Structure 1
Amino acid sequence: MKKLPFLLFVLHAIVMCANAQVSVQRLKTESLTNPVGLDVTQPRFSWQLISEKRNVVQNAYEIKLSDDKARLTKNKVLWQTGRISSGQSILVAYQGPSLVAGKHYYWQVRVWDNNNKVSAWSTPASFQMGLLQPADWKASWISPGYQEDSVWAAPLMRKEFASDKKIKEATAYITAHGLYEAQLNGKKIGEAYLTPGWTSYNKRLQYQAYDVTDLLKKGTNAIGVTLGDGWYRGAFSFDHGRNHYGKDISLLFQLDITYTDGTTKRIVSDDSWKSSTGAIRSNGIYAGETIDARLDKKGWATVGYNDEKWSSVKVNDFSKDLLVATYNEPVKKHETFKPVKIFTTPKGEQVIDFGQNLVGWVVVNANGKAGDKITISHAEVLDKTGNFYTENLRNAKAQDHYILQGNANEVFEPHFTWHGFRYIKVEGYPGELKPENFTAVVLYSDMEQTGTFNSSNALINQLQHNIEWGLRGNFLDVPTDCPQRDERLGWTGDAQVFSRTATFLRGANNFFTKWLKDVAADQMPDGRVPHVIPNILANWDAGSTGWADVSTIIPWNLYLAYGDNRIIEAQYPSMQKWVGYMQGQAVDNLWKNGNHFGDWLFYSVGNNDPDGASAVTDKNLIAQCFYAHSTQLLINAAGVLGKTDDVAKYTALLKNIKDAFVREYLTPNGLTISNTQTSYVLALQFDMMPESLRQQAADRLVKNIERYNNHLTTGFLGTPYLCHVLSRFGYSDVAYKLLLQESYPSWLYPVKMGATTIWERWDGIKTDGTFQSETMNSFNHYAYGAIGDWMYRVMVGLDEDSVGYKKIRIQPHVGGGFTQASASYLVPYGRLSAEWKKENDKLTLDVEIPANTTATVYVPATNADKVMEGGKALAAQKDIQVAGTEKGYVVLKVGSGKYSFSSIE
């Protein structure tokens, strides 16, 4: 081809770009960006279309894949789809030749839009396969071989090796019984902490894969690994028992090196390694960590360190059959906080306030004498007199101890623990406490932030802040109930009620998918689901309604948010087993036995409630509602998977469940036997009543709320659905009254009391400044943060009309005295957003719809003539279809793009 002059070439490029309506960005493999260590043999590819134009959809795509990036761009590929006529741009499954363990692959995609314009090929994305079967592991499990100077001191393991050729690429595969931190040539491998994470270790143990090419050098290299007790063998659970999964502490390490000449080398954990102990003398999730810098073995993870006095290691014959790759995002460091106040309490304690209840640890800088001991204690709150308060931590010591070596500028931070705190008490610090010497570091799973919310109400904005920080504090590899006391367990009820809010705020699909595998793994043979996952409680701690329903609710919520039917397929047997258990327990289709938590931590007005109108909701009524709900979700899942026989079977069962509910718990005029807010909320949310009785049941719910001066009385199971039910039945004004209530019990009461996270109890701190029961009073507990789901999907109106937001519904509910509310959400197809503003009689609604989706927009107005877009009448807008009016809204059909609607009443 004859070369074009440069100017002509540039003009040609500009014309081509102008003709192309769309570009392709944000390529992901298995919902991850350039992942390393996949063990899925048919990974799925996703991408987003980017265009400034309206009404852009994908009509076709083409993917190509190679095992070499240079060959990919030259079109020398292993697999190419050709043009596929499809609008699918998320989770497109690989259909090429078998993928090889440990190998890198590179892929690109291009698309054709609805005007048949083809995009340029995307920037290449990559993924690397992990170890696909036990035989791919050539390493051996090794444990320290020394006579332990301290049974709980953290072991150190090291090995030096030669690498005399130029390195093309190198991958380290690591896991442990316990926790590990690994180094190459003195530099940390990866950015993750608390690896390999927490799974049901006796059934599934994750390994991590790291690209360590840049950490290696030609010549001699050194590997160093520190091990911690962690969940595997550390003191944990209510009894603080040790060795829940095993007594050993062990390492499995494999380093695969490929040289530029095509040859390879493998370094593995074996009997050539050495072991010792160092500065970390003890470590525990509840107790904290003790570091004695005098025992630090300086340079132990670097080349040339003299390890002659180190012990050999023991080689163990532990199984490798349970090893699985890691897909959920690792725990990483995130925000940092400096002290906002340093003060002395009335008791004379030196305390530092970081201004935010957070989860992580404090990095301490100190100068002092050898043997000086600094103790850092952690607390969430101060008591009413301003003293350091730790009684709610129960038996968790939550203390880090640092013993100085005596050198200048010593820096301390933990490795194998974490704390929930806003305040620290400092004892033994050599010198004056200065802000520059203390930094709080926040830890949580590194999920992408996907959702935002803002409004004209400062208290509601603080509530949103608290919801976000409740997630950050408790999404630490598993969805924990609390991060501070001697618990920190994966309570199933808490997770399921918050899951819909979580999927808005963060890209939680991989996080929850990993955890759901442990839900299925730890499910009892009879179908009961344990109260906590991974399960470290007794076998009878299982099967509570609203908790065990995590097995049906979260898979369905993930499917709604991300459109991933593999989640449904993988969890379907677990869903069936749980519904089967309830069916087996039921008599005449009524489930009236079992040990249930019920509407946990509901509000009762006690002596001021003589006729019991706010009394605890009947636990069997609640169980029947969730029995129906899980059955409905199983029907939905069976439909997705094409299991028509199951759809018919469970549809018949659902009718029997609901008929039994009506007979047992409902009077002929729609009064529930409990007559509580939660009883009406659940019955209405799950459609337990005949349709003819539903509106009057909603009316009864409102009367109950009004009786208590527009306060809620619901607990963990009723609260998440309360405002949704009110809005569904025409009472958004009442939902707003509940949302904006500032006195106890309410969402804003903790905000007014200075909370920076969501509390476990409505009155964690009472109006007189005293505390609720110290045996159960967490100040970082996300369950009641589930109100966020109503704020995003109803108040602002961002909702799905089909799974994965391929079709979108935007229906704001304006009210509550708000003048503005906005939310944005990174759905699988791109950025979705809406903002409404109200000024006098004028309402504006600005929306953004991502490419390759369509939306139905509900503009608050009585007729289309009163609605304008971009300052023009709707009749003049060819991109907008008026679909009619509905209950105070003008209904519009739109494609992708940005729109600015306004209406005047």
Structure 2
Amino acid sequence: MKTLLKTCYSLKCALLLLSAVLFSSAFSCNLALNVSLADLKCEYRTDPLGIDNTKPRLSWKIMDPTGTRGQKQTAYRILVASTVDNLNKNTGDLWDSGKVYSDKSVNNVYAGKSLQSSKMYFWKVRIWDAFGNESEWSDPGKFSMGLLNETDWKGNWIYKSDQQKTDHNWYRKKVTLADEVSTAFVYVGSFGYHELYVNGEKVTDNVMNPVASYMRKRIPYLTYDISHILEKGENVIAIWHAAGWARWDRIAEYRNPPFVFKAQAEIHAGDNRIELRTDETWRCKKSYSEYYGDWDILDFGGETIDDRKREDDWNTVKYNDSDWSNAIIYDPDELNAQIEEINDNVIIKEDIPIGKGKFKNRRFSKITATLSAQIVEPQVKYKEVTPIAIKDNEDGTYRIDMGENYTGFFEMELYNGSEGDSVLFEISDQTEKVMNWNQKSKYIYGKSGKGTFTNRFNIAGGRWITVYGLNYEPKLEDIKGYVITNDRKVISKFESSSEQLNRIYEINLDTYIANTLDGILMDCPHRERRGWGEVT
């Protein structure tokens, strides 16, 4: 009898153990179906263009909507391919990491074949989870390489011959393509800010790029994908350029940098590879906007828009640029020879083509700064700001309350004007002051008597805008603002039962955003736009 009981007990245990194993196996298989991969990053960014790290770092997030306890990555496999087709066939012709036993999902360093300038690469990843289950492949990510070697840059540094550093200049170049475009990238490095247009279309929503740098050492460049805009036939590539920080003259290390840019396009159309570069064949003209005021501590000014000179089609194929001038290739020796000639004749001019200030004792240097890919996110219109009130000051002026202090642009529809009439805007971050630190901008009416003022290459910091020169009462719906900062994502949030603590959190977040511009933390947006010690 004991033997029979023991046998039954053993059989029962075995059945229980088998059931547990089968259940565990089924459970783990079900878990595998729930694990997925998302938010693929290369060099901390989603599908970045024009990176120059030849050993890029790859990251991903593990998603398990069931919230399984103990779930984690135990191994991964990465594929990097030269084409989407290869990737879809699970062929990593650049790199197949094989199965790597690691829980690391952040900054896994590429270890494949050498990456080449201007090339696009595609990648994906799969993992094994805590129970040994293999996930599906992630959706593909991609990244492109920038111009990795100095010799890859074929474009020249160019400028407009009679320009002042307050100017916002237009440049354009036509290119005719015999075939449909497969890929096309443009690389732009500039002293100061630029915007890129193709066939009349602004290529990105970015504003005031590239970010600030120590211009004697490094100039950030940006890479743009224009494959979807170029057409078979005639096209035009255009750039709007403003000096920005190249105007700053206060600190010796920054003094007298050139107001120039260089660009080149690499286009693949049919069996042809077309390379377009900046040179003296580019056409240029001063635009209808310019800086208003200085670009200095306590006096960063604003912008002037002169609608009498507006030409909205300047960056289109159909536009006639026959009255434009040709660009000049930057030659410091030639410019310095002009300075010496003027000094010999004891003639001192207030304005010079490239530098700010007087000719006397000023010299132009060879550009030795390294062009390197901008690694920080580009600047964007981060958030729209809506005004809450307009006060009639009963002296012909109006004071607009934007509802919050912010750093960025403001935009206002204007009408009922006569050609040549001016509207002045003064900005303040304090209720008792009309204007802080010479923050002001101006609009001049054109023939139509209506138009829009909006910033493009300068910002202001404040809440209140006093408007001079209107002959009508403005409306709230005609006004909006935009917070300008680098395009970062909010990845966490604080919230509590205390409204006071919640408000403190919001104030701190708004302050951080308002003081992060040009890729750096600033002392303040209106008075000292640099990363002074107590801030950084």
Q: 1: distance between equivalents of 2:110 and 2:214?
A: 30
Q: Percent identity?
A: 29
Q: 1:215 maps to what in 2? A: 229
Equivalent residue number for residue 419 of structure 1:
460
Inter-partner Cα distance in structure 2 for 1:178 and 1:108: 37
Equivalent of 1:377, from 426, 440, 446?
Answer: 426
**Cα 1:151–1:250 shift into 2, 3 Å:** closer
Q: 2:96 aligns with which of 66, 72, 80?
A: 80
Counterpart-to-counterpart distance in 2, 1:362 and 1:246: 30
* Cα pair 1:108 1:124 within 8 Å, conserved: yes
Contact 2:215–2:369 (8 Å) recurs in 1: no
Equivalent position SS for 1:369: coil
Distance in 1 separating the partners of 2:398 and 2:234: 48
Aligned residue number for residue 588 of structure 1: none
User: How much does 1:245 deviate?
Assistant: 4.1
| Structure having the larger proportion of residues in helix | 1
CA 1:348–1:381: 2 relative to 1, 3 Å: farther
How far apart in 2 are the matches of 1:216 and 1:408? 35
Structure 2 matches for 1:421-460, cutoff 5 A? Answer: 421-460=462-501
Q: Which residue of 1 aligns with 2:272?
A: 263
SS in 2 for 1:470: helix
* TM-aligned CA distance change 1:488 to 1:151, over 3 Å: closer
Choose which of 186, 193, 212 in structure 2 pairs with 1:172. 186
2:447 — aligned with what? Answer: 406
Alignment partner of 1:282 is 2:330: no
Other structure's SS at 2:534 match: helix
More off after superposition, 295-304 vs 415-424: 295-304
For residue 483 of structure 1, what is the aligned residue in structure 2?
A: 525
Opposite residue 79 of structure 2, the aligned amino acid is K
Q: Is the Cα–Cα contact under 8 Å of residues 180 and 227 in structure 1 kept in the other structure?
A: yes
Does residue 358 (structure 1) correspond to residue 406 (structure 2)? The answer is: yes
Q: Which amino acid aligns with 2:372?
A: V
Question: In the TM superposition, what whole-angstrom CA distance separates every residue of 1:82-137 from its partner, at most 9, and x where no partner exists?
Answer: 11111111110000000011101010100001110010000000000001011111
Mapped to 1, the partners of 2:30 and 2:421 lie a distance apart of: 67
SS in 2 for 1:205: strand
**Partners of 2:419 and 2:238 in 1: CA distance:** 26
Q: Contact between 2:520 and 2:531, CA under 8 Å: does it hold in 1?
A: yes
1:61 aligns with 2:79: no
1:122 counterpart residue number: 138
Amino acid at match of 1:29: C
Pair 1:33-2:32 in alignment: no
Q: Which residue of 1 aligns with 2:378?
A: 330
Q: Is 2:489 the partner of 1:473?
A: no
What secondary structure, in the 3-state scheme, does the structure 2 residue paired with 1:382 have?
coil
- The residue correspondences of 1:686-765 to structure 2 (distance < 5 A) are none
| Structure 2 counterpart of 1:155, one-letter code | N
**Secondary structure of the residue that 1:112 maps to in structure 2?**
strand
One-letter amino acid of the counterpart of residue 474, structure 2: L
Cα separation, partners in 2 of 1:321 and 1:229, compared to 1, 3 Å: closer
Give runs of aligned pairs for residues 181-192 of structure 1, distance below 5 A: 181-192=195-206
Aligned residue identity for 1:258: H
CA distance in 1: counterparts of 2:31 and 2:103, whole angstroms:
22
Distance 2:30 2:278 in 1: 53
Distance 2:500 2:469 in 1: 39
Tell me how far apart the structure 1 counterparts of residues 407 and 227 of structure 2 sit (CA, whole Å): 32
Deviation at 1:16, TM superposition (A): 6.7
Q: Which runs of 5+ in 2 are unaligned?
A: 1-26, 332-365
Per chain length, whose mean CA-contact separation is higher, i.e. which structure has more relative contact order (CA < 8 Å, sep 6+)? Answer: 2
Task: Please point out which of 198, 207, 218 is paired with 1:204.
Answer: 218
Indicate the SS of the match to 1:415: coil
- Counterpart among 71, 83, 96 of residue 112 in structure 2: 96
Cα gap change, 1:136 to 1:175, in 2 (>3 Å): same
- TM normalised by structure 1 equals 0.50
Instruction: Give, in angstroms, the shift of residue 198 of structure 1.
Output: 0.5
Which residue does the alignment assign to 1:343? 391
Q: Deviations for 1:132-179, whole angstroms, at most 9, x for unmatched residues?
A: 01111111111112x45x663222211111122111111110011222
Tell whether the 8 Å contact from 2:165 to 2:243 is kept in structure 1 after alignment: no
Judge conservation of contact 1:157–1:275 (CA < 8 Å) in 2: yes
Rate the CA distance shift 1:16–1:187 in 2: closer, same or farther, 3 A. farther
**Distance in 2 (alpha carbons) for counterparts of 1:152 and 1:90:** 45
Gaps of 5+ in 1: 1-13, 496-905
Is 1:254 matched up with 2:267? no
SS of 1:481's partner is coil
CA distance in 1, matches of 2:395, 2:420: 26
2:351 paired residue number: none
Q: Counterpart of 1:291?
A: 305
Pairing 1:419-818 to 2, within 5 Å after superposition: 419-476=460-517, 477-485=519-527, 487-495=528-536
In structure 2, distance between residues paired with 1:409 and 1:59 = 64
Partner residue in 2 for 1:132? 148
**CA 1:55–1:467 in 2, change beyond 3 Å: closer, same or farther?**
same
Aligned residue pairs total 466
Are the equivalent residues in 2 in contact too, given 1:194–1:416 (CA < 8 A)? yes
Give the strand-richer structure, 1 or 2: 2
Structure 1 residues 256, 320: CA separation in 2 closer, same or farther (over 3 Å shift)?
Answer: farther
Deviations 1:15-39, CA, capped at 9 Å, x for gaps = 9765434211111011110000110
How far off its partner does 1:451 sit? 2.2
CA separation in 2, counterparts of 1:63 and 1:55? Answer: 23
